Amino acid sequence: MNETCDRCGPAVRAAYRAVRGGQLYLCQHCTAQLSPALRAQGWTVWPAGHNSLGGRAAA
């Protein structure tokens, strides 16, 4: 996995992936800040290494 944080930009590696209609990659910092709000909106937040939903292209 070499995904980068969608909020911080390409300099920051993503540690988590949020999935709803699409996918959002987040670093640990952003996940800590955003995951409660994302989960409240129906997003599922996975560790980025979790692969049960296939690759990013599947979105």
Residue 8 as a binder of Zn ion (CB under 5 A): the answer is: yes
Burial class (CB in 10 A: 0-12, 13-18, 19+), 19: middle
Per-residue mark of binding to Zn ion, 9-48 (x: CB under 5 A) = ------------------x--x------------------
Number of H helices, E strands in the chain: 1, 3
- Please state the closest distance from residue 24 (CB atom) to Zn ion, in A: 10
Residues that bind Zn ion (CB under 5 A): 5, 7-8, 27, 30
